[in-house]
Structure 1
Amino acid sequence: MKIKSCLAALFLILSVGWVYKVNFLDKPVNAYAPPALVGEVQASGRIEAQVITDGARAARFVWPGGTEFKPFEIPLSVGTEPLLSIRLDPLPDRTGTVRLKNVQFRSSSGKLTPIAASGWDSLNPRSVPQVEGDTLVISRLGAEDYPALLLKTPGPLDTAVDGFPRVTESGVWLLWVLCGVCVLGLLAVLLKVLWSARTEERWLLGGCFLLLLGLRWLTIFHFGFSSPFWDYWQFPWTVYFPFEDGTLSWKSLFAPVNEHRIFFTRVFSLFSFRMNGQWDNAYEAALNSFFFALSCFGLILALWRAAGKRHAALIGGLTVVFCALPFSWENTVWANQSQFYFFAGFSFLAFWLMGLSRPFSARWWLGCAVAFWAMFTVGSGMMAVATVVGLSIYRLLRDPRGWRSVAPTLLAGLAIAALNYPFMVQQHNYGMLTKSVQQFLATFGKTMSWPFVSQIWFWPLLWLPLGGLVISAFISRRKPDRLELWIVALGGWCLLNAVGMGLYRGGFSGGPASRYMDITSLAALCNALALLWLYRNVGQASSLSKQPRWLSYIENKPCTRWFTAGWAALMIYGVMAITLHELSVPAAQRIACQHRAIRNTLQFQQKPELTSLIDKKAEELPYPDPLALISYLRSDRVRAILPTSVRPPLPLKIETQTGFVSPGVYPALQIDLIEPSWGSYGREGDRTVGRLRARIAQTPAYPWLVFPVLNRLGRGFETRLSVTDEVSGKKSLVKGLVEPDILWNPLTVKCPGKANLVIEAEDYDPVAWFSFNAPREKSTVSVWSDRILAYSLWPVWGGLICIAWGVSISRKNQLRRI
Structure 2
Amino acid sequence: MERFAVSLPFWDQWDAEWLGLLKPWIEGKLQFQDLFIAHNEHRILPTRIMTLFTFWLTGSWNNIVEARFNILFGASTPLLFIWTLARTEKITGLKWLIIAVIIAGGSLPFSWENFLIGFQSQFYFVNLFTLASLIIAAHFHNRSWSVWVILFLSLISILTLASGLLTPLAVIAVYLARAYFQRLISAKTALLMIILFAMAVSAYFTMPRVEGHYILHATTFSEFISTMLRLMGWPLRGRKLFIGVMWLPGLFFVSRMLFLRKQIGKTDLLMFGCLAWTAMQIVALAYGRGHDSIHMPPRYAEVLLLGLAANSWFVVRLTSIKGKPMVTKAVWGVAAAFFIAVFFSYIQRSVLDFRVLKEERARRLTQTENVRNYLATKDFSTINKPGFQIPYPDPKRLQMILNDSTLQEVLVIGNEVTPKK
Could you say whether these structures have the same fold, taking a TM-score greater than 0.5 normalized by the shorter chain as the test?
yes
2:195 counterpart residue number: 412
Separation of aligned partners in 1, 2:352 and 2:245: 22
- Counterparts of residues 516-665 of structure 1 (less than 5 Å): 516-535=300-319, 537-539=320-322, 552=323, 556-585=327-356, 587-614=357-384, 616-645=385-414
CA root-mean-square deviation: 2.5
Separation of aligned partners in 2, 1:555 and 1:315: 25
CA shift for structure 1 position 497: 0.5
CA shift for structure 1 position 594: 1.2
Contact 1:300 1:315 (C-alpha < 8 Å) held by counterparts: no
Contiguous gaps of at least 5 residues in structure 2: none
CA shift in 2, pair 1:409/1:360, >3 Å: farther
Pairing 1:229–2:10 present = yes
Which residue identity lines up with residue 387 of structure 2 in the other structure?
A: A
Separation of aligned partners in 1, 2:49 and 2:240: 38
After superposition, give the CA deviation of every residue in 1:652-708 in whole Å (9 maximum; x if it has no partner).
Answer: xxxxxxxxxxxxxxxxxxxxxxxxxxxxxxxxxxxxxxxxxxxxxxxxxxxxxx7x9
CA shift in 2, pair 1:421/1:570, >3 Å: closer
Contact 1:346 1:371 (C-alpha < 8 Å) held by counterparts: yes
Q: Which has the higher contact order (CA 8 A, sep 6+)?
A: 2
Which residue identity lines up with residue 641 of structure 1 in the other structure?
A: V
Separation of aligned partners in 2, 1:325 and 1:410: 36
2:181 counterpart residue number: 398
Separation of aligned partners in 1, 2:389 and 2:149: 46
After superposition, give the CA deviation of every residue in 1:516-567 in whole Å (9 maximum; x if it has no partner).
Answer: 11112333222111122222x412xxxxxxxxxxxx5799433222221121
CA shift in 2, pair 1:247/1:391, >3 Å: same
1:511 counterpart residue number: 295
CA shift for structure 1 position 285: 0.5
Say which SS state the counterpart of residue 54 (structure 2) adopts: helix
Separation of aligned partners in 1, 2:21 and 2:185: 48
Contact 1:554 1:560 (C-alpha < 8 Å) held by counterparts: no
CA shift for structure 1 position 403: 5.8
1:290 counterpart residue number: 72
CA shift for structure 1 position 636: 0.9
CA shift for structure 1 position 345: 0.7
Separation of aligned partners in 1, 2:229 and 2:81: 26
Contact 1:440 1:509 (C-alpha < 8 Å) held by counterparts: no
CA shift in 2, pair 1:463/1:258, >3 Å: same
CA shift in 2, pair 1:601/1:285, >3 Å: same
CA shift for structure 1 position 572: 1.2
1:333 counterpart residue number: 116
Which residue identity lines up with residue 360 of structure 2 in the other structure?
A: R
CA shift in 2, pair 1:496/1:281, >3 Å: same
Among candidates 248, 252, 269, match of residue 468 of structure 1: 252
Among candidates 141, 147, 168, match of residue 358 of structure 1: 141
2:127 counterpart residue number: 344
CA shift for structure 1 position 310: 6.0
- Counterparts of residues 761-800 of structure 1 (less than 5 Å): none
1:758 counterpart residue number: none
After superposition, give the CA deviation of every residue in 1:331-377 in whole Å (9 maximum; x if it has no partner).
Answer: 11110000111110111111122454335711222111111221011
Report the structure, 1 or 2, having the larger helix content: 2
CA shift in 2, pair 1:366/1:522, >3 Å: closer
Separation of aligned partners in 2, 1:619 and 1:431: 22
- Counterparts of residues 94-105 of structure 1 (less than 5 Å): none
CA shift for structure 1 position 228: 0.8
Separation of aligned partners in 1, 2:49 and 2:103: 28
CA shift for structure 1 position 293: 0.7
Contact 2:250 2:314 (C-alpha < 8 Å) held by counterparts: yes
Contact 1:490 1:522 (C-alpha < 8 Å) held by counterparts: yes
Pairing 1:317–2:88 present = no
Among candidates 411, 423, 426, match of residue 209 of structure 2: 426
CA shift in 2, pair 1:399/1:458, >3 Å: farther
Which residue identity lines up with residue 525 of structure 1 in the other structure?
A: A
Say which SS state the counterpart of residue 241 (structure 2) adopts: coil
Contact 2:366 2:418 (C-alpha < 8 Å) held by counterparts: no
CA shift in 2, pair 1:346/1:495, >3 Å: same
Separation of aligned partners in 2, 1:367 and 1:310: 31
CA shift in 2, pair 1:456/1:391, >3 Å: farther
CA shift in 2, pair 1:313/1:368, >3 Å: same
Contact 2:229 2:244 (C-alpha < 8 Å) held by counterparts: no
Separation of aligned partners in 2, 1:324 and 1:553: 39
1:373 counterpart residue number: 156
Say which SS state the counterpart of residue 221 (structure 1) adopts: coil
Q: Which protein shows a greater Rg?
A: 1
Separation of aligned partners in 2, 1:440 and 1:468: 23
Say which SS state the counterpart of residue 164 (structure 2) adopts: coil
TM-score (norm 2): 0.91
Say which SS state the counterpart of residue 383 (structure 2) adopts: helix
CA shift in 2, pair 1:447/1:248, >3 Å: same
Mean Cα deviation higher: 271-280 or 437-446: 437-446
Pairing 1:248–2:25 present = no
CA shift for structure 1 position 436: 2.4
- Counterparts of residues 109-508 of structure 1 (less than 5 Å): 220-234=1-15, 235-307=17-89, 313-354=96-137, 356-359=139-142, 361-401=144-184, 406-428=189-211, 429-508=213-292
Separation of aligned partners in 2, 1:358 and 1:611: 61
Which residue identity lines up with residue 626 of structure 1 in the other structure?
A: P
CA shift in 2, pair 1:443/1:293, >3 Å: same
Separation of aligned partners in 1, 2:326 and 2:395: 62
CA shift for structure 1 position 309: 6.5
- Percent of aligned positions that are identical: 23
TM-score (norm 1): 0.48
After superposition, give the CA deviation of every residue in 1:592-638 in whole Å (9 maximum; x if it has no partner).
Answer: 21122112112222322323322x11311111121121011111111
After superposition, give the CA deviation of every residue in 1:475-534 in whole Å (9 maximum; x if it has no partner).
Answer: 433112111111111111111101111111112222321111111233322211112222
- Counterparts of residues 738-777 of structure 1 (less than 5 Å): none
Separation of aligned partners in 1, 2:124 and 2:160: 9
Contact 1:303 1:486 (C-alpha < 8 Å) held by counterparts: no
